[in-house]
Amino acid sequence: MRCFFITAFMILSFLSKGIGSTGADTLLEKIRKTEGIEKAKNYNNASAVFKVNKPDSAILLARQALAIGHESHSDPIIAEALGNIADCYAHHLTFDSAVVYYLKAITVAEKTNNNKELASYYNGIGIVFYHLTDYDKAISYMKKAAEYKYKEGDMMYYITVNCNISSVLQRIGKFKEAISILLDSEKKLKQFNNPGILANLYNSLGGAYQQGENNQDSAEYYYSKNIALIPQLENQPFRFAAFLNLGQLYLQKGQL
């Protein structure tokens, strides 16, 4: 029987800023009232808000920021605008365009040594290449993202990127390497209070043991740790994956 395994890590890279209609109106009002660099910053903020549900508007807003950035010779504004455009294309599966804009954003961000933005762009392009099934490039870019986050001391994001890398390694059959990365990440993650990411890490560990090691006991152990860690009414996507994988595991074991 073919093993079915589901993980939710890849969705983490494209989460956008959540904001209600009142907040969106406030951002648009700020755009109307400001000029120059401040206006460009507000264009970029609005673009980040709209990129999931209104991608065409988000791209238009980012292009407005981009124009001001070029006029003002502001590399930070330019890099953020390019990154927002790349995110829009990635969200809506226009991957070739996403790659183009992520690479442009990386080139500009490198001039300013903005490790935070570089990590985001490298992780974004890594996930795009994952969807394009170019797994070697996906791993290469994600590793660069992890390096930048480690330099910044942002261990939460560093671990999240490592989990993305593990998911790609599992896809290409490198399960021992995937497990090693996840176990190292688990040690570091226990220093933080983020049960959602830790739970999904356990789900990913369960999948690695189930698929690569055929170690059903370890797989069951980590799936169960995922479920026990998350209260029933919270973080349902993280619990869903583990419930589904645990059900498939019991099916494999003949425990109908």
How do residues 193-221 score in pLDDT, each as one tens digit? 778 788 888 988 998 998 887 789 999 99
79, two tokens: 């890099």
What's the mean pLDDT when you consider all of the chain?
Answer: 86
In degrees, rounded to 5, the angle at the alpha carbon of residue 129 between the alpha carbons of residues 200 and 236 is 20
Which one-letter amino acid corresponds to residue 111? K
* Residue 108: C-alpha distances to residues 69, 76, 79, 80, 168 (Å): 11, 8, 5, 9, 27
Percent of the chain with pLDDT over 90: 51
Residue 21's pLDDT is: 47
Distance CA 210, CA 217 (A): 9
Residue 234's pLDDT is: 62
Percent of the chain with pLDDT over 70: 87
Distance CA 169, CA 103 (A): 23
**Strand, coil or helix: what is 232?**
coil
pLDDT tens, 20-74?
444 666 877 888 888 999 999 999 999 998 888 888 999 999 999 999 999 999 9
Count of other CB atoms within 10 angstroms of residue 184: 12
Count of other CB atoms within 10 angstroms of residue 22: 7
pLDDT at residue 3 greater than cutoff 60? no
Question: What is the per-residue DSSP string for 14-72?
Answer: G------HHHHHHHHHHHHH--HHHHHHHHHHHHHHHTTT-HHHHHHHHHHHHHHHHHH
DSSP one-letter code for 53: T
